[in-house]
Amino acid sequence: MLTLSQHSFTPSVPRTQRCGAGLTLGEAVFARVSRLDSELCAQLSGMLLEMPPLRLARLLQDEGRLREAVATARAEYLRYTGASQAAAAAAAGTTAPVPATREELADRLFAALHEQHPQLAGRLTGMLLELPEPELTELLDDRERLTLRTEQALRALGR
């Protein structure tokens, strides 16, 4: 199992060393991981970068092993963040909230925008999905804030 504590940071190859296409090792990892998991690519890339650089470079050369490492890192990340949310909720005397997936947020956002702007709902949804997930959740819970953000997006579209 891949955890941050299992991999010491003792690089024998600098992480800024250029590898294929002029990218640093970190950039190459992020580019490849983002194709496999666009939702958590930053977090998973950071976890993988804790591996020794030579091992990581070999991992980038084997798509199957990279997929496996990304899946393992994702499971570990979700296990860790789920445990953290549960611990924080227990300390507060509440239950841990079930986080909405990005797709669920997109569906809710589209439905809310479609009520006011049926012709532009898809485009506005795409624009607002660029916001961080916590802000999206707040917008969906506060119609006034959603209206303000929607008006900003409409102005950006020149409407």
Q: Examine the fold and report which residue of 92, 118, 134 is the final residue of a domain before the chain moves on.
A: 92
Residues 109 and 142 in one domain: yes
Q: Examine the fold and report which residue of 92, 115, 132 is the final residue of a domain before the chain moves on.
A: 92
Is residue 52 within 8 A of residue 59, CB to CB? The reply is: no
* Distance of alpha carbon 25 from the chain centroid: 20
Residues 49 and 118 in one domain: no
Digit-coded pLDDT (tens) for 105-140: 888 888 899 888 888 888 888 888 888 888 888 888
Q: Specify the amino acid at residue 156.
A: A
CA–CA separation, 52 vs 8, rounded Å? 7
Q: Is residue 13 part of a domain?
A: yes
Q: Is residue 97 part of a domain?
A: no
Confidence of residue 148 (pLDDT cuts 50, 70, 90): very high
Residues 122 and 62 in one domain: no
Q: Residue 136, exposed/middle/buried by CB under 10 A (0-12, 13-18, 19+)?
A: buried
Q: What is the CATH number of the domain that holds 53?
A: 1.10.1900.10
- Backbone phi and psi for residue 23, each to the nearest 5 degrees, phi listed first: -90, 150
Mean pLDDT of the chain: 78
* Bridge partner residues of 18 (DSSP): 24
Q: Is residue 15 part of a domain?
A: yes
Least confident of 44-53, 84-93, 124-133: 84-93
Domain that holds residue 118: 102-156
| Structural domain count, the chain | 2
